[in-house]
Amino acid sequence: MPSVSPPSSSTNSTPSSTPPSSSLSLSSSFSSLLSLSSLSLKDIESLTQRILDSLARQLHSLFDDGLPVAENLALDLLDAMFAPKQILRQIMLILSIQCSLLALNRLYDLAQGVLSYVTEKGRRERELIERLQNAKTYREWQEIARNLDELRGCMKWREQGRSIYYTLPLCQN
């Protein structure tokens, strides 16, 4: 079997294909297998299988020696959080809440529309909104908007005189 020799210290400018001797830390079982061209596919597969088995045994012994309880709990929690069933349940819950809110919003709009046809206040509000849309001058629009504010109960801000959101004297001018 071929052996690996350290690079020569000659002044040859061609790069060496073998690594320097200081970085050669291969075990005796692997040092004879460095020349892959002379290995059969079966040898490479068996070598790969031995390496994977060795890694699996080492990882298994690491985890069997016992992770601390907090780490086990964290791993279980992560497993539960990112499990596909759990994710699908959360997505379905979000969708059902969103659909419910949309349905409630539509029902509220429908109830407001029905009330605007049934009650006197609703008919008056619809009439004022229509007049507001068809106003010809700003003074006419301002008068209709003031009447609509009074009908809706939006004149309280004018009666209070102060607020943290605006300065009333600036709004009145």
Assigned domain for 7 exists: no
Note the pTM of the prediction, 2 decimals. Answer: 0.37
Residues 77-135 have pLDDT tens digits of: 777 767 777 778 888 999 999 999 999 999 999 998 888 888 898 899 999 999 999 99
Assigned domain for 146 exists: yes
Residues 49-68 have pLDDT tens digits of: 888 888 777 766 766 655 66
Helices (H), 68-119: 69-81, 84-118
- Please provide residue 135's backbone torsions phi and psi, each rounded to the nearest 5 degrees: -65, 140
Average pLDDT for the chain = 74
Q: Does one domain contain both 113 and 124?
A: no
Range of the domain at 110: 83-118
The pLDDT value recorded for residue 64 is 63
6: pLDDT strictly greater than 70: no
* Number of domains, the chain: 2
Res. 75 pLDDT band, cuts 50 70 90: confident
Assigned domain for 89 exists: yes
Assigned domain for 134 exists: yes
Residues 129-153 have pLDDT tens digits of: 999 999 999 999 999 999 999 998 8
What is the C-alpha to C-alpha distance for residues 6 and 17, in angstroms, rounded to an integer?
10
Contact present, 103 and 115 (Cβ < 8 Å): no
Assigned domain for 11 exists: no
